[in-house]
Chain A
Amino acid sequence: MSARIVVKIDPDIEDLIPGFLANRRRDVDSLKSLVANEDYAAVRVIGHSMKGAGGGYGFDVITEIGDTIESAALRVDGDAIMAAAAELADYLARVEPVYD
């Protein structure tokens, strides 16, 4: 199993973190079905939202992955989106928030 990724999070928003990460796990599933249906407009919205919110919550990697997804959706690049979704799934499996 790969190493854990420890991320320092603002304790003020501790209560929000489980919900935020759960929503990103849902995004992984959504991305797969949206690419299968070639709904790149919806993929772009997901990427845009992840890009906007990730860093604010303290997860800069989620912002970077969101940026990749948004750009790939604009290019209608399903493979790049699936690769980014896999990267997101891996990150979510390993990330360990620390409230400090």
Chain B
Amino acid sequence: MADQITTGTVLIVDDDEDMLRLVATWLNHAGYATHTATTGADALTRIAISRPDVVITDLFMEGMNGLALLTKIHASNPLLPVIMLSGQAQIPDAVQATHLGTAAFLTKPIAKEQLLKEVRQHLATATVRRGRKGIFAERLIHRSALISELIEQSELLAQSDVSVFIAGETGTGKEVLAHAIHDASPRRERPFIGINCGAIPEQLLESELFGHEKGAFTGAHNRHDGLFLAADGGTLFLDEIGDMPHGLQVKLLRVLQDLQVRPVGSTKSVPINVRVISATHHDLEALVKAGEFRDDLYYRLNVIPLRMPSLVERREDIALLLEHFLARHAEKVHGLKKRFEPDALEYLTAAAWPGNVRQLMNAVELCATLTAGGIIPLAMAMRALREESGSMQTLKEAREDFEKKYLISVMRVANGNVATAARIAGRNRTEFYKLLGTYGIEAGEFRAAAE
């Protein structure tokens, strides 16, 4: 069949060599590449090395059985389709496999066409998803697991219309992510419009967002549609939503609830079809607690929270990003791509980057522009970062930093219950209390926040 998807790699796992050979031969004849493994442990190694598109595994295997393997696969590759083969049509096994997220549960002896149909179907889905993931991979240059996981989530949520909230420090690329979500979504043919809610005075922002009628206020010489209407069918990105004036927050909430806007000076509401993605570098939860941001709007916007990690959290991406921006600069000036000398590269990789990817991009631009030759020296890299960069944290500082953040997150999960938090952290209560004391963390604050 011309429309069959016959490219892709399948990993077959079975401790019966005859079954492995049979299934591999069927798949090879159908045009698929195959790898085989005879144990669950071997399969996990194969997955890490050859990144198959689909896994077919036997249920009944010595050591790690198919269900345990499925659980382990999905712990690190939640979207990898796993087809389960079973020698017995045991309903509890099928139910458990389905519960664990198996793509299909087939009973042996397997019919060739049935198996090929399942593989075809799951590969087709994987191919579409790979294409969508490519949109993110092009925009978010990375090799870090943190960004890979973010892409996995973003690719999935791009297919829905739910409101997304992106947290993250300034310069981490929140708008880049928002735009990629739009481009990977069914709304991609319609506009993506971004606005910085913190950069515009309240009255102007209201008119910018919701539009106005001619003569609605002094200076309103013409009717203006507003960004909600301009983004109709597409995505509106509300950056720095934490800076939105309180008065406007109520109006925005009303728009999001009613899915219609009423331009300033108009008596008529107009229906809208817009997906809203919002972002801020502020701790929005803290702003809600401080009464500076409406909690009802917060919950409306924060249906799916994402977080763009800071550059130091994804330090392994720095060299890749430097290369990327050097190549982009060379392209822009139609010149040869420059490179950093090893000392400069080491210095930049270890820098603190308070301004994140945006600061890195500007630093590369400065270095590439001001370096006459092809090699950018350490002195230039240091000049690009001036005094801002500081130096990399010591291990002790990094450990303390991590420990504090971890304790806060565990206490938040446990709603301030120290016994529960200690259990989650795998420490006894006395020891855990001591740790909280070291960092000045008060259990009561979390209990109050949970109430």
Tell me which of B20-28, B152-160, B194-202 binds A: B20-28
Q: How close is B446's CB to chain A, nearest CB, in angstroms?
A: 53
Contacts of B109 in A (CB 8 A): 51-56, 60, 63
B108 touches A56 (CB 8 A): yes
Q: How many A-B residue pairs have CB under 8 A?
A: 55
Contacts of B58 in A (CB 8 A): 52
Closest chain A residue to B85 by CB distance?
Answer: A52
Contacts of A13 in B (CB 8 A): 22, 25-26
Contacts of B23 in A (CB 8 A): 56
Contacts of A63 in B (CB 8 A): 109
State how many residues of chain A have any CB contact under 8 Å with chain B.
Answer: 19
B272 at the interface (CB under 8 A from A): no
A56 touches B110 (CB 8 A): yes
B60 touches A48 (CB 8 A): yes
A12 at the interface (CB under 8 A from B): yes
Q: How close is B59's CB to chain A, nearest CB, in angstroms?
A: 10
B108 touches A51 (CB 8 A): yes
A12 touches B87 (CB 8 A): no
B451 at the interface (CB under 8 A from A): no
Given the known inter-chain contacts A20-B18, A48-B60, please indicate yes or no for A53 contacting B25, CB distance below 8 A.
no
CB < 8 Å: which of B16, B25, B29, B110 contacts A49? Answer: B16
Q: How close is A47's CB to chain B, nearest CB, in angstroms?
A: 9
B112 touches A53 (CB 8 A): no
Given the known inter-chain contacts A53-B109, A56-B110, A56-B112, please indicate yes or no for A16 contacting B87, CB distance below 8 A.
no
CB < 8 Å: which of B22, B26, B111 contacts A53? Answer: B22
* Interface flags, B83-104, vs A, CB<8A=1, else 0: 0010100000000000000000
Please provide the chain A residues from 15 to 32 with a CB less than 8 Å away from any CB of chain B in the complex.
15-16, 19-20, 23
B327 at the interface (CB under 8 A from A): no
Given the known inter-chain contacts A52-B108, A55-B108, A56-B109, please indicate yes or no for A16 contacting B22, CB distance below 8 A.
yes
* Interface flags, A50-86, vs B, CB<8A=1, else 0: 0111111100100100000000000000000000000
A40 to B111, CA, bound (A): 29
Q: How close is B2's CB to chain A, nearest CB, in angstroms?
A: 20
Contacts of A60 in B (CB 8 A): 109
- Residue from A12, A20, A52, A60 whose CB has the most chain B CB atoms within 10 Å: A52
Closest chain B residue to A66 by CB distance?
Answer: B87
Q: How close is B15's CB to chain A, nearest CB, in angstroms?
A: 9
* Interface flags, B111-133, vs A, CB<8A=1, else 0: 11000000000000000000000
Closest chain B residue to A13 by CB distance?
Answer: B25
Q: How close is B383's CB to chain A, nearest CB, in angstroms?
A: 66
B435 at the interface (CB under 8 A from A): no
Q: How close is A99's CB to chain B, nearest CB, in angstroms?
A: 13
A56 to B29, CA, bound (A): 15
A57 touches B22 (CB 8 A): yes
Please provide the chain B residues from 262 to 289 with a CB less than 8 Å away from any CB of chain A in the complex.
none
Closest chain A residue to B110 by CB distance?
Answer: A56
A55 to B107, CA, bound (A): 11
Contacts of A16 in B (CB 8 A): 18, 21-22, 25
Contacts of B21 in A (CB 8 A): 16, 19-20
A96 at the interface (CB under 8 A from B): no
Contacts of B85 in A (CB 8 A): 52
CB < 8 Å: which of A10, A23, A51, A54 contacts B112? Answer: A10
Please provide the chain B residues from 30 to 63 with a CB less than 8 Å away from any CB of chain A in the complex.
58, 60
Q: How close is B320's CB to chain A, nearest CB, in angstroms?
A: 44
Please provide the chain B residues from 379 to 429 with a CB less than 8 Å away from any CB of chain A in the complex.
none
A54 to B110, CA, bound (A): 10
A48 to B60, CA, bound (A): 9
A53 touches B19 (CB 8 A): yes
CB < 8 Å: which of A10, A52, A55 contacts B16? Answer: A52
What would 20 A/B residue contacts be, using CB atoms closer than 8 Å?
A: A12-B25, A12-B26, A12-B29, A13-B25, A13-B26, A20-B21, A51-B87, A51-B109, A52-B19, A52-B58, A52-B87, A53-B16, A53-B19, A53-B109, A54-B109, A55-B109, A56-B108, A56-B112, A57-B18, A57-B22
Which 7 residue pairs across A and B have the least CB separation, nearest first?
A55-B109, A52-B108, A52-B87, A12-B29, A49-B16, A56-B109, A53-B18
Q: Which residues of A contact B (CB under 8 A)?
A: 10, 12-13, 15-16, 19-20, 23, 48-49, 51-57, 60, 63
Q: Which residues of B contact A (CB under 8 A)?
A: 16, 18-19, 21-23, 25-26, 29, 58, 60, 85, 87, 108-112
